[in-house]
Amino acid sequence: MKFKDRNEAAEILAKKLQKYKNSNAIIMAIPRGGVPLGFIIANALKLPLEVILSKKIGHPYHKEFAIGAATLKSRILSDAARNVAPQYIEDETNRIKELLKKRYKMYYGNKKPMEIKDKTVIIVDDGIATGNTILSTIKMLHDEKPSKIVVAIPVAPPDTLRKLHKSPFIDEVIYILSPENFRAVGQFYDDFDQVEDKTVNYLLNKAHAK
């Protein structure tokens, strides 16, 4: 099975998330690819939409491999960071925080994001490959004391789903596809064009205007 595009994947996920309609929940989309899905799901469930501003800290010799993640407020490192120079980690964290500050201003302007304390947080992305970045991000979100953390994704490989299910910070994982022959998220979409910042801005402004 393949999704026609992110919209189709979002519509299927929204049906699987019906029990959260009109509840004390918030849709938190991972930019940029998760935002079109988050927008459709938030509309369908009559819930507010926010974005998660976090970014992985890549290994110095293999940038795609996450050794941790950083948000504007905090940082978390995985075991893979043990043999990485502390100075590199410090420099990368500062660089990421600067980038996230710019994104924050672009996406939120002078508005503050919603509090997630005591709310059900539904994290949405267009798919997950290794899961390392999202797991680091979820640990940091857990510190903000939401009542429940749900991960909703169209596609992820079986070993990644096992990692998500094992996480002590995730209460529920909702997915559509879990193929053994997983190479990349885009492989399961007919249309997987890159989502631009201007699209993220447009969707967030539209969601916040309601």
Q: pLDDT: is 12 or 109 the higher one?
A: 12
Quote the mean pLDDT of the chain: 93
- pLDDT, tens digit, for every residue of 119-145? 999 999 999 988 877 888 898 899 899
CA distance 190 to 167: 31
Give me the pLDDT at residue 73, please.
82
CATH of region 56-106, choose from 3.40.50, 3.30.1310, 3.30.1370, 3.30.43: 3.30.1310
Confidence band of 6 (pLDDT split at 50, 70, 90): very high
Give the percent of the chain with pLDDT over 90. 76
**Residue located via tokens 């509840």:** 23
CA distance 136 to 67: 9
CATH 3.30.870.10 fits 6-53+117-208, yes or no: no
Q: Write out pLDDT tens, residues 158-190.
A: 999 999 999 999 999 999 999 999 999 999 999
Listed in order, the ranges of the chain carrying CATH 3.30.1310 are 56-106
Going by C-alpha positions, the residue among 18, 19, 16, 40 that lies closest to residue 29 is 40
